[in-house]
Chains A and B, each alone.
Chain A
């Protein structure tokens, strides 16, 4: 489907949905620049990759948004103009509004979930960084942004900010031939969520399962829709929020 001239950059590439997207794009023949902050996880991604020569690893901590626009521009100057950007890096926090650090924690959360992604988008949208017509950006949002739940005020708001930004961004960069969309996954079993197992008790998981008409999702359930939005099959879709949640938000 793709050749190594089709270059995609994926953040949050070493685990969960981001990792799945990297491996799938490689399988489809594309060249992928995988961004993660953990050297060991990046190395293990390389072990799993099908076409290792098409995989470029970039170690980067995205928790500080300063300079990320120039960074992505330099990457494209080094490797070639980018066709796609998948913004999958993000953090989840559970903090009740009554907790002492709720506002401070929200600021940290916004820094990575929102501001870093916007800064990366700014770099990608530079005329010198993308291929123009046929380029696509996919933001990883969440159904938390459209359906309330207790304890995730900051997280939900950071994803809601993405949904709003996507619409204006889509209008702003359409003239450059760039499409911008958000995918809103429901609860999928990623490593990030597994690491919260102390919070997500068995009872909680059962209750969750009941909320999902098609059951709790797996990582691969979200990858297909992301690949679709990246591809030219979605060439008339921009500014959209694609809900991928097994019917949970209905």
Chain B
């Protein structure tokens, strides 16, 4: 999976019509709430069999930070 494909998966997980970009701040994304965080944990578990802790997720400030969590599992 490429970074761009993951970006699309994240957008889908956020149930968002508008596009998102890597540099967007999570706090500026209306859909980024506690349930969206839970959905992100499920997404990474499903895609990469990787369990991300809530604490790690809370430290993410931008979309790019979310992608960075799994950067070693992405195609370049």
Interface residues of A, dominant DSSP: loop
A-B contact pairs, 5 of them (CB 8 A): A126-B15, A127-B15, A127-B16, A127-B31, A175-B35
Residue of B with least CB distance to A77: B17
Contact with B along A120-158 (1 / 0, CB 8 A): 000000111000000000000000000000000000000
Flag if B35 contacts A128 (CB, 8 Å): no
**Complex contact B33–A175 (CB within 8 A):** yes
Contact of A172 with B by CB under 8 A: yes
A-side interface size class:
under 10
Q: Which residues from 1 to 49 on chain B have a C-beta closer than 8 Å to any C-beta of chain A?
A: 15-17, 31, 33, 35
Chain B residues, CB < 8 A from A126: 15
In the A-B complex, the 6 residue pairs with the closest CB atoms: A127-B15, A126-B15, A128-B17, A128-B15, A127-B31, A172-B35
Distance to closest chain B CB from A128 (angstroms)? 6
Q: Which residues of B contact A127 (CB under 8 A)?
A: 15-16, 31
Give min CB distance, A69 to chain B, whole Å.
11
Give A contacts to B, CB under 8 Å: 126-128, 172, 175
Alpha-carbon distance A128/B30, docked complex (angstroms): 13
List the A side residues contacting B33 at CB < 8 Å. Answer: 175
CB distance from A176 to the nearest CB of B (A): 9
In the complex, A128→B12 CA distance in Å?
A: 10
What residue in chain B is nearest A70 (Cβ atoms)?
B12
From A126, which residue of chain B is reached at the shortest CB distance?
B15
* CB-based nearest A residue for B31: A127
Assembled-state Cα–Cα distance A126/B15 (Å): 6
C-alpha spacing A128/B16, complex, angstroms: 7
